[in-house]
């Protein structure tokens, strides 16, 4: 759970490399691509350009390097050569990367082409909710402070938080203790200590927070088929606050 200074140095490297994957994706025109094409693009970039390992590939039997979740898909969307990303879609790309035995995890919801205003607002609020949670991270704060800030921001904007999925500790393993819920009460839960590393990853729904899993056993969708958006960063608790290990060069 708590990383040494040397381990944090290695995690910074993984986080910086993963940030560069999203910077590469930012330059792509996703409209017209299949989700499998995006998967293969990211696979090549991580393994060849970055000389790293896509940590999701083979994890829990998953065959691909990323999750691609379009519109009403909340998380764990599976790449498919027949699933085409279209103008007006929103798509969350959730990617992990391992370098020097340490893993970083991040996701971003992309607005594809002329996404409608309601979709743009949802994506903006979901990103804001993640940052509201990140702002709570410092030694002596509690996990409940993070979840409370996230849910409060979503609710005041008329959205619902998905409660079934959450952030998590991360390091040599993709999923470590603790669980980092996207709801909670202030000053409750685990007290944060310098050196802790975990993800913060709210999933924000346009309608109900209720979800269901499709027959493939992976894909999670909103029960009402309304839109869902997610953002995720890997963060470390520092002496004075927080360091976002997967921060991209544009500050997002």
- Encode pLDDT of 120-174 as tens digits: 999 999 999 999 999 999 999 999 999 999 999 999 999 999 999 999 999 999 9
pLDDT for 53 equals 98
State phi, psi for 15 to the nearest 5 degrees.
Answer: -65, -40
Q: How confident is the model at residue 39 (pLDDT cuts 50, 70, 90)?
A: very high
pTM of the model: 0.96
| Rounded Cα gap, residues 8 and 6, in angstroms | 5
The whole-chain average pLDDT of the chain stands at 97
| Rounded Cα gap, residues 73 and 206, in angstroms | 12
Return the SS3 of 234.
Answer: strand
- Please confirm whether the linkage preceding 178 is cis (ω < 30° from 0): yes
pLDDT for 62 equals 94
- Residues belonging to the chain: 252
Contact 148, 186 (CB under 8 A): yes
């Amino acid at each position: 759970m708590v990383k040494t200074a040397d381990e944090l140095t290695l995690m910074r490297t993984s986080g910086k490399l993963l940030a560069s994957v999203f910077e590469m994706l930012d330059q792509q025109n996703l409209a017209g691509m299949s989700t499998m094409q995006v998967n293969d693009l990211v696979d090549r970039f991580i393994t060849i350009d970055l000389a790293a390992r896509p940590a999701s590939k083979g994890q829990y039997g998953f065959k691909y390097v990323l999750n691609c979740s379009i519109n009403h898909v909340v998380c764990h969307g599976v790449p498919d050569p027949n699933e085409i990303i279209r103008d007006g879609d929103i798509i969350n790309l959730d990617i992990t990367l391992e370098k020097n035995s340490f893993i970083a995890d991040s996701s971003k919801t992309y607005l594809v082409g002329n996404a409608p205003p309601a979709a743009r607002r949802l994506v903006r609020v979901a990103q804001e909710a993640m940052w509201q949670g990140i702002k709570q991270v410092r030694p002596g704060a509690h996990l409940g402070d993070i979840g409370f800030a996230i849910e409060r921001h979503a609710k005041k904007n008329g959205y619902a938080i998905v409660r079934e999925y959450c952030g998590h500790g991360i390091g040599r393993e993709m999923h470590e203790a603790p669980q980092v819920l996207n709801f909670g009460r202030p000053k409750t839960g685990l007290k944060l200590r310098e050196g802790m590393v975990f993800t913060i990853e709210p999933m924000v729904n346009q309608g109900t927070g209720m979800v269901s899993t499709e027959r493939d056993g992976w894909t999670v969708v909103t029960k009402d088929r309304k839109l869902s958006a997610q953002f995720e960063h890997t963060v470390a608790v520092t002496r004075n606050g927080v360091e976002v290990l997967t921060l991209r060069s544009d500050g997002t």
